[in-house]
Amino acid sequence: MKTNNKKSKFKKAVTYIFSSICIGFVNGFFGGGGGMVTVPLLEKGLHLPVKKSHATAIFVILPLSIASVMTYKLESSFDWGILLWVSGGFIIGGIIGALILPKLNSKFIQVLFAVIMLVAGVKMCI
């Protein structure tokens, strides 16, 4: 019995580590978008409920973003003027989104997320 439990814990740990590396890679490579990978991985791969997946993804974005900013800062790869304006919008939008998320139906959140991902994917191809 203990052997199966150890194998299960090991498999879970490997899944967490592999998932986190994928999320970090996407965020660092594309300069964002880690949340778009985080949510499906948490929901489908790690079987977290919809709202917990989205809330966890939001929380995960902070350290990912800090790590990416430090890397890009070393390369001097961003515009400070744009950064200040966009950061203000991100903060306001983030607060509004975090306040609204708990009030929404889980199915609605899934559909909205799927639509946003689909529109973003189509827009990138056009």
pLDDT in tens, the chain (126 residues): 556 788 888 888 888 888 888 877 877 777 666 677 888 888 888 888 988 888 888 787 777 777 777 877 777 777 778 878 888 888 898 889 889 988 999 899 889 988 988 888 888 788
CA distances from 89 to 21, 92, 97 (A): 28, 5, 12
What pLDDT does 107 receive?
92
From 58, 57, 82, select the one nearest 72 (Cα to Cα): 82
What pLDDT does 96 receive?
92
What pLDDT does 37 receive?
80
End-to-end CA distance of the chain: 54
Q: At what angle do helices 50-75 and 80-100 cross, to 10 degrees?
A: 170
The structure's pTM equals 0.64
What pLDDT does 76 receive?
73
What pLDDT does 111 receive?
92
